[in-house]
């Protein structure tokens, strides 16, 4: 699915999914289903199904949300300046359907090529486990 109107999104998504994906909300830390997920596979956008992150880029940042050091490809997500809540952050959105996924933070000292932490809401994702992990 690509871009739907608001009524279609409300019909397709649960109230919690809609709040995060379409209204830019955030799930509470340590409550998401993928925080401690270890299975291999591909994480897709829960709204449209686009492939976003690979499990081999997921790492334990101890922040309460799933963290990845890079998306599958640069064109899978779009990054937007976010100055809400009195903070300067970079919002991560699905490039296909424009759903809110979370935020990316740089310069925290992570041992990955871009020193990046894509902090993504579990409710924004679905895991498609690798065939040997299902």
Active site residues: 119
User: What angle (nearest 5°) sits at the alpha carbon of residue 87, between those of residues 21 and 57?
Assistant: 55
Using CA atoms in the order 81, 72, 46, 20, what is the torsion angle rounded to 10 degrees? -20
Rg of the chain over Cα atoms, rounded to whole angstroms, equals: 14
């Amino acid at each position: 699915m690509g871009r739907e109107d608001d009524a279609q999104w409300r019909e397709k998504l649960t109230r919690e999914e809609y709040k995060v994906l379409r209204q830019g909300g955030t799930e509470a830390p340590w409550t998401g289903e993928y925080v401690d997920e270890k299975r291999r596979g591909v994480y897709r956008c829960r709204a449209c199904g686009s492939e976003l992150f690979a499990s081999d880029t997921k790492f334990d940042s101890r922040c309460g949300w799933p963290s990845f050091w890079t998306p599958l490809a640069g064109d899978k997500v779009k990054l937007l300046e976010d100055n809400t809540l009195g903070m300067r952050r970079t919002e991560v959105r699905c490039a296909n359907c424009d759903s809110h996924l979370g935020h990316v933070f740089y310069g925290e000292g992570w041992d990955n090529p871009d020193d990046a932490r894509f902090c993504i809401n579990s409710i924004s994702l679905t895991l498609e486990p690798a065939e040997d992990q299902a």
